[in-house]
Amino acid sequence: MNKEQYKSFRDEVIQILSDLDGSLSLDHKNTWNDISDHVSKNIMPAIDKTLNKRMVYNQTELKFILQQLHRHREDLEEIIDDGKYHSDEASETDNEKAQMEINEHIRLKN
């Protein structure tokens, strides 16, 4: 599978996962080892059935994509949940940009 085919396959898997029943989603709160049986027995067959031979791939490639999706989503949730990385407060540059737009008559004053 070349790079373009891999990207297309990954995008297709992501789309299928988003359309599957909630019981067939990747559980990001548990480790891959904890969910690997569920993935192999339930999620992978559901993806195979949905793809219905539209793409040529093997189970190792599918499992690798699912592992990567699980790992990256788990990392992202960890960053978002950690307040050091994510702040709801407006930064000084946001206020400076807004003031500049008001001065240049791009934005109306409140």
Blockwise average pLDDT, block size 10, the chain, 110 residues:
88 88 84 91 93 89 91 64 56 69 70
CA 94 from centroid of its chain's CA atoms: 27
CB 69 within 8 A of CB 12: no
Query: What pLDDT score was predicted for residue 63?
Result: 94
The DSSP H or E segment spanning 107 is none
pTM of the model: 0.64
Query: What pLDDT score was predicted for residue 49?
Result: 93
Query: What pLDDT score was predicted for residue 108?
Result: 66
Token pair, residue 62, equals 């599918």
Token pair, residue 86, equals 């994510």
Token pair, residue 22, equals 């909630």
Query: What pLDDT score was predicted for residue 29?
Result: 83
Query: What pLDDT score was predicted for residue 97?
Result: 74
Query: What pLDDT score was predicted for residue 89?
Result: 59
Query: What pLDDT score was predicted for residue 90?
Result: 56
Q: How many helices (H) and strands (E) in the chain?
A: 5, 0
Query: Distance of CA 42 to CAs 17, 18, 26, Å?
Result: 12, 15, 11
Measure the CA–CA gap between 7 and 57, rounded to whole angstroms. Answer: 12
**Residue corresponding to tokens 């000084």:** 92
